[in-house]
Structure 1
Amino acid sequence: MSIAAEILAGPVAQALAILPMAMNTPQARVMLLAIGLQESRLTHRRQIGGPARGLWQFELGSRASRGGVWGVYLHHASTYWLHLLCQERGCDFEPAAIYARLEHDDVLAAGVARLLLFTDPKRLPAVDDAAGAWDLYLRTWRPGKPHPHTWPDLHRQAREAVLQAAQGVPA
């Protein structure tokens, strides 16, 4: 089983089961896997030489910048669902506590990542729209050093894992 399929069947599925059913779509699952692959290869829970935490590499951010965990915490579209997610995961509903847990709780990390996508006003890109997915990633994650050359293959891997899972094919 590939790492993408493993994360999809485990933490992503568990996080999406906590959040509203409408957030659990093939488009969302592809985005979560592609971003996780891009950010950490779905293996690094602490950024190498940096402050980001979790498989989706969240920084704490600040109330003023509204970036990172603080952004999801303060956004009107996500704050209620983040509170629910934190309750379900036994995490204090406070940015510093959430940030600290991201490194050790992949379900919380997947949920926070999905909620960050939910804060974007645009519709999620189609499963096969790698360019639209890249644009969404840039808008929401705002990576300091984006690597556009790795995105197409990682997005393809994510898409294949989601499609195989939907067909019941082991990855």
Structure 2
Amino acid sequence: MTLSEIRAVAIAPALALLPARMKSPQAEALLLAIGLQESGLAHRRQIGGPARGLWQFEQGGGVRGVLLHPLSRPHALAACEARSVKPSAAAVYAELEHDDILAAAFARLLLWTDPASLPAVGEVGAAWDLYLRTWRPGKPHRNRWDAGYAKAMDALAGGVLA
């Protein structure tokens, strides 16, 4: 899928499930960049690992965290209800591989748990720092981030898409 397709079929419907204050160009840029970093927005099952969904959540990590964090929990429960998924770590984890809207909603909610404001579009280093704080990747690849973030900004500007 192109980035414009991901925005249309996963990100926009996910953001529609969440409060309006969670929708912003900054959030979309981060969702695209993190998806590119984590899965290339192509792999819904981690190659050689346990993570699921385009944003690569682990059951006991991101899924559990979003379901339990006081800032994200009410919105996660509402997203689960809207997507007809039992709000348990096991059920959400299993569904993330097949439901890109739920995956995008959980990705946005994980960003919501960070106390800092989302960095402005174009603040590549600050976006990387936020990604590291919230996703806590085991093997971060900073060398891929800049290109993915640039593609995300192009997608938001209506430029050539990956």
Q: By the TM > 0.5 criterion, same fold?
A: yes
Partner of 2:100: 106
Instruction: Provide the aligned C-alpha RMSD in A.
Output: 1.1
Q: Tell me which amino acid in the other structure corresponds to 2:117.
A: R
Partner of 2:37: 38
**Off by >3 Å, runs of 4+ in structure 1:** none
Partner of 1:14: 13
Shift of 1:9: 1.5
Alignment of 1:1-171 (within 5 A): 3-61=2-60, 67-164=61-158, 171=161
State the number of aligned residues.
161
Q: Taking structure 1 as reference, are residues 17 and 170 closer, same or farther at Cα in structure 2, changes over 3 Å only?
A: farther
Q: Tell me which amino acid in the other structure corresponds to 1:79.
A: R
Secondary structure, aligned partner of 1:149: helix
Secondary structure, aligned partner of 1:76: coil
Shift of 1:94: 0.8
Q: Taking structure 1 as reference, are residues 170 and 152 closer, same or farther at Cα in structure 2, changes over 3 Å only?
A: closer
Q: Tell me which amino acid in the other structure corresponds to 2:105.
A: G
TM-score w.r.t. length of structure 2? 0.97
Q: What does the per-residue CA deviation read over 1:1-24, in whole Å, with 9 as the maximum and x for residues that have no partner? A: x62111011100000011011101
Shift of 1:97: 0.2
2:154–2:160: 8 Å Cα contact kept in structure 1?
A: no
Cα distance in 2 between the residues matched to 1:104 and 1:10: 13
Cα distance in 1 between the residues matched to 2:23 and 2:3: 16
Q: Tell me which amino acid in the other structure corresponds to 1:96.
A: A
Shift of 1:80: 0.1
Shift of 1:170: 7.7
Cα distance in 2 between the residues matched to 1:39 and 1:5: 18
Cα distance in 2 between the residues matched to 1:26 and 1:73: 25
TM-score w.r.t. length of structure 1? 0.92
Give the unaligned 5+ runs of structure 2. none
Shift of 1:122: 0.2
Q: Tell me which amino acid in the other structure corresponds to 2:157.
A: L
Cα distance in 1 between the residues matched to 2:93 and 2:11: 18
Partner of 1:64: none
Secondary structure, aligned partner of 1:51: coil
Cα distance in 1 between the residues matched to 2:62 and 2:44: 15
